[in-house]
A and B are shown apart, each in its own frame.
Chain A
């Protein structure tokens, strides 16, 4: 019986079948669903960590204590987790430990593209790259055996299309893997310089043994095709690929090439490469992102075609490959695309970030440091309320640096940093310490929507629930902020524009640090009993409508940027000039921001 699974689901299943007993992660597209699915396996202790570094560290500790463990994260999360990763590579494991890195070619939901295969090289780790969901499951099991046999954490590297594509999977049973005994071993696990220099040598020896493994493992194999059409212009065509790129190559070239399919990609199999080159003459290296395999092939003295025809950026879809290799594209219907209007993502109707951005957009001499979350959309029309975005937790600290320079150079610019609740717990708390300790007048705003929103509603240290949805200690942001020493702290309902204005006025009037916490739930959140008690059982149920007699079509309300609100010329005509603005009653979530903006009191509860 085969089950349809995404790569993320299959990785979770693989962890379960491999006997994993502890898993930790911080949500991030496209990795989030790995831990979400693991929470369904009750034999595994599964936790949301406050960030990727502590997820990695918790998984390392679980391994040292004798349990097979896992940490999963998106590509940029590995940057955060890199410190423990590099050192854990030195000590090695007690029970097996796997780090899953989900890279995002095409940046569908990310601030950058990065090729995390280099982390395997740099941290000296074995690396696996599955191509579909079945391989995700199978390779997880292989990864734990490898981790224990070679005494090393293992990097499992996937990409968005592997993570979020469904394909059929045959599942097995959970292996009975008892917790290994814990034995204190200072020489192996305490990384003081005198001991770590010895570990360093062992790491190199381990890489040598892993190289031999890479040559013989069935994870790397040659698919020799002897058909006539594999020869073009007198050359036998070959393809070297790993991960999803392998299937893209098969899609475009099919049986028109021989393949070196690589599932184990650090260290790479030199002898297998030599063998492949005895079978083929003209070789394409088909890979997304950097010329990782290509540099290896070239370092072995072979000629190949790779990044000279395949872009190092964006998604490598079959379209891109077909054009690059075969020089053509499949043709669809020809039509006029000029009438198509872009549909960028937008803050939802009822989003609690709207009120804040509406007010911030009006402030003069203001530089806004953004962060990573739905609220990054504040950069766009109609708010245009963001100046720069660096990475998770950077808004307060990058804002602080900017404020220092503005002030020192006589600029009147006031810097406002914006981040969400989950981002605050991630690394934002460190950034706030930076602001407070250095007595910066940066205005720090925490948008507490009571959940980790953009990745699809994961619990966090502020929500009062854990990954399994059970009650957990709730860390109160206002108390944390005050405990750190912030003096000017205001908590406001962001849907109350007057309160938002007052909090901003107060903060702008201060010469030292200010913190504003906007507290209202995400409109998509499944409300808890505590939420209903705090925000009202009827929150989001009110609808607003427009009084056509009062509306003067000034369009002030559309500056709220609400998708429920529209001003459509055809519909205005149909209503013979009476109804100027329309509010979609299905979408309206009753935040009332538009009603507060309307200068004619034409918008009211319907």
Chain B
């Protein structure tokens, strides 16, 4: 019922992976491109290694900052199992970009459960999925922490908003010392989706 076309991007991962910064930069860029935007996130106790999500919506006029189940146009997951956890929020014809990364939840660590194999296959069978080894790519760039911006670049490319002034937006949102590597990370992300 939302006016015009409103698109929803769901960024998910594990507390501490940098989803919030990526979502903030994404939302800032969309606003500067002239869209109405809303972004929602949950912080607090869930930061402590729990499952986290940042929700970004943009378009002519956005009402709810929260994405409904079955309505996200793009799922950006920083961790494999989190992609599957949040997949129910994606549209049937949504796209997904998934980081090829496993972070063990506590039940796995203490041996009461096993981390499932075959998650990427399950995802690919359900939805148009692009898999990126963002940690490896970030390592090649020289800083493992820019993994989140690589995924952001990939997401921007997938949803067709990679033509905004991302260099400027990134520079305005990270410390000057890290601006250059984050710009490179964004570019690398777009390249990984172009192939």
Residues of chain A whose beta carbon lies under 8 Å from any beta carbon of chain B: 2, 4, 29-30, 108-109, 132, 160-161, 164-168, 244, 247-248, 250-256, 317-319, 322, 329-337, 339-348, 374, 377, 380-382, 454-456, 555, 558-559, 561-563, 565-570, 586
Contact = CB atoms under 8 A, between A and B. Distances in A.
Contacts of B92: 331-333
Contacts of B87: 332-333, 335
Interface in B14-46: 14-15, 24, 27-28, 31, 36-46
Contacts of A569: 114
Contact of B50 (A2, A335, A345): A345
B164 interface: no
B116 A339 contact: yes
B144 interface: yes
A106 to B, nearest CB: 8
Contact of A347 (B37, B48, B66): B48
B106 A561 contact: yes
B119 to A, nearest CB: 7
B117 A160 contact: no
A571 to B, nearest CB: 10
12 contacts: A29-B44, A109-B43, A165-B66, A251-B63, A317-B64, A333-B87, A335-B87, A339-B119, A343-B82, A344-B106, A346-B106, A555-B111
Interface string B74-91: 000000011011011111
Contact of A454 (B31, B45, B85, B104): B45
Nearest to B135: A586
A29 B31 contact: no
Which DSSP category, helix, strand, loop or mixed, fits chain A's interface?
A: loop
B68 A317 contact: yes
Contacts of B27: 4, 166
B71 interface: yes
B48 A166 contact: no
Interface of B: 1-3, 14-15, 24, 27-28, 31, 36-51, 62-66, 68-71, 81-82, 84-85, 87-92, 94, 103-119, 122, 126-127, 144
Q: Which of B2, B43, B50, B116 has the most CB of A within 10 A?
A: B43
Given A335-B122, A563-B106, A558 B111 contact: yes
B90 A332 contact: yes
A165 B40 contact: yes
A330 B66 contact: no
Contacts of B31: 2, 4, 168
B106 A381 contact: yes
Contacts of A346: 48-50, 106
Given A333-B92, A335-B122, A374-B45, A567 B111 contact: yes
Contact of B89 (A2, A109, A332): A332
A568 B102 CA distance: 11
A161 B65 contact: yes
Contact of B15 (A255, A322, A329, A345): A345
Contacts of B65: 161, 165-167, 244, 247
Contact of B64 (A109, A318, A561, A562): A318
A329 B46 CA distance: 27
Contact of A167 (B1, B38, B44, B94): B38
Q: Which 3 A-B pairs have the closest CB atoms?
A: A109-B44, A254-B1, A330-B70
Kindly name the residue among A132, A168, A332, A381 whose own CB sees the greatest number of chain B CB atoms within 10 A. Answer: A332
A563 B42 CA distance: 21
B46 A565 contact: no
B143 to A, nearest CB: 13
Contacts of B70: 329-332
B181 to A, nearest CB: 18
Contact of A339 (B15, B91, B122): B122
A558 B108 CA distance: 10
A162 to B, nearest CB: 9
A132 B49 CA distance: 29
A165 B88 contact: no
A29 B41 CA distance: 12
Nearest to B84: A340
Given A247-B63, A333-B126, 7 more contacts: A29-B44, A254-B63, A341-B115, A345-B48, A382-B106, A566-B109, A570-B115
B105 A318 contact: no
A345 B24 contact: no
A30 B90 CA distance: 27
A332 B85 CA distance: 12
B56 to A, nearest CB: 9
Given A30-B44, A342-B105, A332 B69 contact: yes
Contacts of A250: 1-2, 63-64
Given A333-B90, A345-B48, A161 B66 contact: yes
B44 A455 contact: yes
Nearest to B127: A333
Given A248-B64, A332-B92, A344 B50 contact: yes
B68 A562 contact: no
Contact of A381 (B45, B66, B110): B110
A486 to B, nearest CB: 31
A561 B112 CA distance: 12
B175 to A, nearest CB: 14
A341 B108 contact: yes
